[in-house]
Amino acid sequence: MSITRIIGGTLTKAATGNIDIHATNGDVHLAATTQNNWYGEENGIIHHDYEPSHSEDSINNRLELTLNLFFDGTANNRNNTEAREKNTFAYQEKSNKKNDSYENDYTNIARAYDAISIKKLVNKPKPLKVYIEGVGTTDLDTDDALPMGIAQSAGFWNTGIKDKVKVACEKGSLEIKYAADGKPVDLLTINVYGFSRGAATARHFLDITNISYTVKVNKEGYFILPGDMMPMRYPKNEDKTKPPYPESFDVKLGYFGRCLVNNGVFEIKDVYFNFVGLYDTVSSHGFSHNNDVKDLGLDAVKKAKMVFQLSSADEYRENFDLTNIQSAGLKGLELTLPGVHSDIGGSYLQGEKERSVVFKENYFFGTRDKHFNFIPNTKKADAFKELLVNEGWYKNDELILEYNEDDRIAFLVGTRILENTYDKIALNKMIMVSKQFEVVYDEAKEKKKTNISDPFIANVFEQLTNYSQAVMTHRNEAIQQNKPATQYIKESKQINYQDYINDDDLKKLRNKYLHWSVKADQFGLGPRFDEVLPVEKRKREIHNG
């Protein structure tokens, strides 16, 4: 909006008090063919930059919004965890009190959601945030009825990846509706975050926003969205020089755009996908996982300005393949940190007793002791036990052999009491990188969520920071040198965290903090390999996404 005044003679403005002239989004130009004359008392003419004392002082008519979408991990639910902590009726009635979403700690997705600022800053887009509960869960209700191993391997039911994308679209569009308050949105900036299948869901959300279609509007302004029965009415144009209604309009952003229209948001002039923050993307959608990248469009991350993924180095369960961020090219940064899936994304409880069948072996032969008791031949299990002790995962007395004599199966069982403070390292990394791309956090909440009080973990954090800085420096140099994306990615993979951490510290980290996610006796949670392999060969399959 502008105001132009052309005066044929003299323009005089006088006031007994002050006259304030502010240009909140531009310059003030005063021009004369002879002189600009300024009069004031001594020291009374002051030149300085103007900053509005309050955002309401600004007359900038642009409406800019930032939407932050947080997709939690499989079987994780911030609201259910909170219900357990408060011992609510929902927890008492809906939780199995054993291994469901109520029994988990908060993930790094939930922590970052809590720390995000929604305070409107001067000359900054208004920030909005939406939390979407993890696959397999519903707020304050029972988790999916499929057995845990099957549910986690399949990744769907009535609360699967595509269902959670719908939840994000519906909740996100409502936030925009309330923030826009009937006004056109000039710029919508979108940041997405996800852990596990939540990371796959975040990526699928980006994919569905590629869909657009045209809807016809009749002379009275009514239209029907594809698949709907009930007509809606387009807002009437009050400008008498133009037709009251358009002949048609485009619905962009797929189902998200449809939800926006359903909520009365018809005009978003520009959409900008800014930051994508991922913890260990695992899709495992359906029962065949080799085509998830294509089926879910997991390479849609390439449309964002920046993609940052933290991956786990020690996860090798059969149904937990990793999807990398290769399609992002030089816009992507991936760090591989020690630990398994939820050591990176969070959810483990403090001081939890972990019992894992780390290996199983069928035996057919054996020997007899002096009392003629049968001793099974378990060479593989014995070798794996020795290997895990040498690598630092377990102490010798933390691993024992148990037998199913009827089926002649030997189980190598590991039992430990573990700390959960290590996952703060990944959270700190994520917040640090996201802040470089204008993601704003509440300072007090961020400090509370990211604080590392464990001195050993603080030391490990410092060592791993040297690793992350090496990867970031390599990326910066690749950008400056205009390296091909394939070369940058190949070289990045050669930078290994193990070159930056003390061996004794790594062994202590493995034994006291890092979990063992493989459950060799549970369907869907078993290992990818049955062989005895050292840590550098116990790796999962990685899909290019």
Tens-place pLDDT, residues 419-456: 999 999 999 999 999 999 999 999 999 999 999 999 99
Structure tokens at 298: 């997991």
* Calpha distance 307→332 (Å, rounded): 5
Q: What Rg do the C-alpha atoms of the chain give, in angstroms?
A: 29
Identify the residue with better confidence: 20 or 438: 438
- pLDDT over 80 (residue 173): yes
Average the pLDDT over 236-254 and give the result: 95
* Calpha distance 164→134 (Å, rounded): 8
At 295 the three-state DSSP class reads helix
CB 344 within 8 A of CB 310: yes
What helix, strand, coil percent values describe the chain, rounded to 5?
A: 35, 20, 45
The 10 Å Cβ neighbour count of residue 226 is 8
Backbone angles phi, psi at 61, to 5 degrees: -85, -5
Q: Please give the C-alpha separations between residue 212 and each of 185, 251, 294, 466, in angstroms, as whole numbers.
A: 18, 6, 19, 44
Average the pLDDT over 181-189 and give the result: 96
Name the region of 526 (left: φ>0; alpha: ψ -120 to 50; beta: rest).
beta
pLDDT at site 6: 43
Average the pLDDT over 87-94 and give the result: 98
Q: Which of 120-129, 182-191, 334-343 has the least mean pLDDT?
A: 120-129
CB 68 within 8 A of CB 131: no
- pLDDT over 50 (residue 85): yes
- State the SS3 of 442-508: CHHHHHHHHCCCCHHHHHHHHHHHHHHHHHHHHHHHHHHCCCCHHHHHHHHCCCCHHHCCCHHHHHH
DSSP-assigned states of every residue in 327-395: GGGGGEEEEEESS-HHHHHB-PPTTEEEEEEEEEEE---EEE-TT--EEE--HHHHHHHHHHHHHTS--
- pLDDT over 70 (residue 22): no
Average the pLDDT over 14-41 and give the result: 58
Most confidently modeled range among 19-33, 188-202, 234-248: 188-202
pLDDT bracket for residue 35 (50, 70, 90): low
pLDDT at site 27: 60
pLDDT bracket for residue 1 (50, 70, 90): very low
Reported pTM? 0.88
At 536 the three-state DSSP class reads helix
Sign of the CA dihedral with 286 first, then 291, 296, and 300 last: positive
Instruction: List Cβ neighbours of 286 (8 Å cut-off, separation of 6 or more).
Output: 154, 155, 156, 292, 295
- Say which DSSP state 152 is in: H
The distance from CA 492 to its chain's CA centroid, rounded to whole angstroms, is 22
The 10 Å Cβ neighbour count of residue 43 is 6
* Calpha distance 195→355 (Å, rounded): 24
b/e for 248-269, b at 16 or more Cβ within 10 A? ebebbbbbbbbbbbbbebbebe
Instruction: List Cβ neighbours of 276 (8 Å cut-off, separation of 6 or more).
Output: 191, 192, 193, 202, 203, 206, 301, 304, 306, 307, 308, 328
- pLDDT over 70 (residue 25): no
Residues β-bridged to residue 410: 361, 403
Structure tokens at 280: 């260990």
Measured CA angle at 235 (ends 234, 239), to 5 deg: 125
Structure tokens at 76: 């994780």
Backbone angles phi, psi at 453, to 5 degrees: -95, -15
Question: What residue segments make up the domains of the chain, in order of their start?
Answer: 64-347, 352-418
Which residue, among 342, 351, 354, 340, has the nearest Cα to 413 in the 3D structure? 354
At 112 the three-state DSSP class reads helix
Q: Say which amino acid occupies 111.
A: R
pLDDT at site 7: 45
CB 501 within 8 A of CB 456: no
Backbone angles phi, psi at 392, to 5 degrees: 100, 0
Q: Which of 154-163, 242-251, 272-281, 444-453 has the least mean pLDDT?
A: 154-163
